[in-house]
Amino acid sequence: MSERFAIYYTFEPEDPIYQLASSWLGYDLWSGKEISQSNSPLFDENLTSFLAQTTNPRQYGFHATLKPPFRLKQGKSLIELDQALQSFSREMSTFECEPLTIQKLGQFIALRSEKHCQKLNKLAEQCVIKFDHFRAPLNQVEIKKRKPEQLSEPQKNNLEQWGYPFVCGEFQFHMTLTNRLRDSEREEIFNYLKNIFSSVLGKPLVINKICLCHQSESDYKFRVINQYPLANLKPEL
C-alpha cells in the first residue's frame, strides 16, 4: 500500500493568500483539482519559466507541514487516526503568529513568519510525537531518499526516531512556493513573488485548525480529507 497521510496547516479556501498561492502552484489542496496557470491572472508569457518551477510543491498543495507524510502502521485505521485528531484538536487553542513574508529558504522560496513562533513550533512537535504510533516504520527506500549521510546528528536522530529529519528542534515553519532553484533564477522569482503577494500579506497568521491530508498513490497529489478546528477559537496573543 503506497497511500500516505500528513497533518498540515493551510488557510481556508476563500482566503486571499490561499487563493493566490494555489493559483501560483496550479493546484487546490481542498478540492483536489488542478488550476490552469495559463488562465490565472498571474500568467504572463514571460513567466512560463517561473511557473515551471512549481511542479514539486504542486504535488503537496499550498500548506505548512506539521507532521510529515507517513504510511499508516499495520493494525491502525483511518477511523482511529481521525478520532485521535478530534481529541487532540479539542485540547488545543487558536493562536496568532507574526505575519507571513516571502523569504528564501535555502534554494527554495516560501512564505514564512517574520519571527519564529514558539507556539507553532510546539504544535508541530506535538503533532509529530502524539501521532507517531500511527506511522509505519520507514523502509530502506524511504531512508535512502533522505540521504542520511548528508544529515547532521540531530537530523539523523530525528529520521531514526520520527521518520523525518526536519522535525522537533530542526523544524522550520514554511509554506513552499517553488522547486529547488538555481542561483541565477532565484533572485528574479523571489522579487516577482514579493511583488504579487504584497497586497495579501501583513495580517497576523492565525493558527485555528489542523488538517488531515491524504495521498492515495505515490504519484497522486495530496488533498484535504478532514479539518479539525482548535477548540478555543479566540486567538491567544
Confidence check: pLDDT of 223 > 90: yes
CATH fold, domain 4-117+134-139+173-236, is Cyclic Phosphodiesterase; Chain: A, (3.90.1140)
- Cα angle 59, 173, 36; round to 5: 30
Q: What is the pLDDT confidence band of residue 237, given thresholds at 50, 70 and 90?
A: very low
Average the pLDDT over each of 29-38, 52-61, 63-72, 131-140 and give the range with the smallest value: 29-38
CB 31 within 8 A of CB 223: yes
Confidence check: pLDDT of 147 > 60: yes
75 Rama class: left (phi>0) / alpha (psi -120 to 50) / beta: left
Query: CA-based diameter of the chain, in Å?
Result: 51
Q: Which has the higher per-residue pLDDT, 188 or 130? A: 130
Q: What is the pLDDT confidence band of residue 44, given thresholds at 50, 70 and 90?
A: low
Cell representation of residue 226? 478532514
pLDDT at 114: 83
Q: Report in angstroms the alpha-carbon separations of 199 from 16, 24, 132.
A: 9, 15, 39
Using DSSP's 3-state secondary structure scheme, residue 226 falls into strand
CB 121 within 8 A of CB 235: no
CB 37 within 8 A of CB 102: no
Q: Report the mean per-residue pLDDT for the chain.
A: 92
Task: Give CA–CA dist 79/77, Å, rounded.
Answer: 5
Give pTM, 2 decimals. 0.93
Q: Report in angstroms the alpha-carbon separations of 233 from 63, 94, 207, 213, 219.
A: 20, 5, 9, 22, 36
Task: Give CA–CA dist 17/5, Å, rounded.
Answer: 24
How large is the average pLDDT for residues 18-23? 94
| Helix and strand counts by DSSP (H, E) for the chain | 8, 12
pLDDT at 200: 95
How large is the average pLDDT for residues 52-65? 95
pLDDT at 221: 96
Domain ranges of the chain: 4-117+134-139+173-236
